[in-house]
Amino acid sequence: MSNKFIIALDQGTTSSRAILFDHQGKIHSVAQKEFAQHYPKAGWVEHDADEIWSSQVSVASEAIARAQLTTKDIDSIGITNQRETTVLWNRKTGKPIHNAIVWQDRRTAEFCQNLVSNGHEETFTAKTGLRLDPYFSGTKITWILDNVKGARELAEAGDLAFGTVDSWLIWNLTGGDLHITDPTNASRTLLFNIHTGEWDQELLDILNIPASVLPVVKESSEIYGTTSGNNLGSQIPIAGIAGDQQAALFGQMCIEPGMIKSTYGTGCFMLINTGDQAITTKNNLLTTVAWKINGKTTYALEGSVFIGGAVVQWLRDELGIIKSSADIEAKAAAVKDSGDVYLVPAFAGLGAPHWDPYARGLIVGITRGTSANHICRAALESICFQVDDVLYAMKSDSEMAIPQMRVDGGATVNNLLMQLQTDILGIPVVRPQVQETTALGAAYLAGLATGFWKDIDEIQSQWAVDREFKPEMSEEDANKKRQRWLKALNRAKQWADD
């Protein structure tokens, strides 16, 4: 196996990537291609599903060519993807009947509110672990069936297929032979009962979705089939699937209950492995499937922060107080603290554990002596406080001891941010050597299925630390800062509710 490679297809919200990993879990080559974002109305976000497919298959070929390899050198394919984004296509023609509706899209907000008003939320939450929110796929499917001419007729005739992006890619990779998904993606649709591991007829009936459109749910790690000869030139096994955040949890080797990872991108996504328990949240988190391997389902709690690294982009693009994102570390380090300035980046409302769509951003504590450096430091601290809020909710829900937090994502290169984070959390923050943990998780799932890696123990031995950050702030000082943050946070809440 040592001379073969696994290709991870990492289909994200703004770009498609392909990464080749060797037997040591090291990156051999990368190819990436951005694709268009479509905003047909305020709050609507769409992608061209054909462009997603063409960009993904082209970067796969490019990554193999860059490494001066052929498809004969590829052991298998693992797939990870933006999760709740919804594609419906005609089974006979293989063509989408509408643009993909992206996870960020809010067009079904009123529909979701009506479902809540009609008393359905408890049913959905008990079965799926999710809230009734436009974020998830189910109401997007209903919207397409009700608003695209001929869609419902196609569905009733059994000629319409629904998929999250993983399903759409696999359908195309296999020339239409496979219409499948895995439990990590299925558990984000509002249609999948995470306790029985099956599509749920009651939920389908409430949303008026025929079961005929649904893919078959396979495990996260098994050999599903092979690519058709027309794609990538030869038959390569497809052997791993996981939604992006669950793939990152696996790539970080958070395989025991109580292990936790936080991904720092535009937003921040935190997941904690809860083992074979699907814990019901009391703190506004989501319960989701982490993965299913060898017949065993592992669960996770998830919390999402809407504005993480995006607050740094805001300082750069809208306020102009930094020239590049990398500049923020030096400016924030130029002052010993934030000067009692607190920034709440509720630009798109607040995510977990607050779930306040009416919250808005604010900066408080400004005096005549407040400088751009203080605001930069407050911005970095705002990321840390939001992550701390989610961790607090996870500790409360899981009742698990959390010895450390593993981190990944672009913002983690900022050493000051990571030090501020460990100070506020009061636990070590660990950054791994391989930062591409989402793609790595998909590769690991595929390689486990094919025997490329013998077992999880072998994979675990590859996980290596780049740097461990340890708290330097006293618990008393951290608590004082936390209380000031909560005071600022409460002033931001419900700001736009009129």
Task: Locate all alpha helices (DSSP H) within 399-474, ordered by sequence.
Answer: 415-425, 437-450, 456-460
The answer on whether 245 is annotated among ligand-binding residues is yes
- Does 444 carry a binding-site annotation? no
- Is 244 known as a binding-site position? yes
The single-letter code of the amino acid at 238 is I
Q: Locate 19 and state its tokens.
A: 């990464």
Per DSSP (E only), the strands in 285-394 are: 286-293, 296-305, 342-344, 362-364
83 known member of a binding site? yes
Tell me if 475 is assigned to a ligand binding site.
no
- Tell whether 243 is in a known binding site: no
Alpha carbon distance 122, 128 (integer Å): 10
The 8-class DSSP code of residue 190 comes to S
State the DSSP string of 75-100.
EEEEEEE-SS-BEEEETTT--BSSPE
Was 71 annotated as part of a binding site? Answer: no
Binding site annotation covers 117?
no
Contact between 151 and 145 (Cβ < 8 Å): yes
Q: What distance in Å separates the CA atoms of residue 294 and residue 274, rounded to the nearest whole number?
A: 18
> Is position 15 annotated in a ligand binding site?
yes
184 is in an annotated binding site: no
Query: Does 66 count as an annotated binding residue?
Result: no
Bin 190: left if φ > 0, else alpha if -120 < ψ < 50, else beta: left
Chain CA centroid to CA 162, Å = 20
13 is in an annotated binding site: yes
Q: Are 297 and 183 spatial neighbours (Cβ–Cβ below 8 Å)? A: yes
- Is there a binding annotation on residue 309? yes
Ligand-binding site membership of 410 (annotated):
yes
- Which residues are annotated as part of the binding site for ATP? 13-15, 266, 309, 313, 410
- Which residues are annotated as part of the binding site for sn-glycerol 3-phosphate? 13, 83-84, 135, 244
- Which residues are annotated as part of the binding site? 13-15, 17, 83-84, 135, 244-245, 266, 309, 313, 410, 414
- Which residues are annotated as part of the binding site for ADP? 13, 17, 266, 309, 410, 414
- Which residues are annotated as part of the binding site for glycerol? 83-84, 135, 244-245
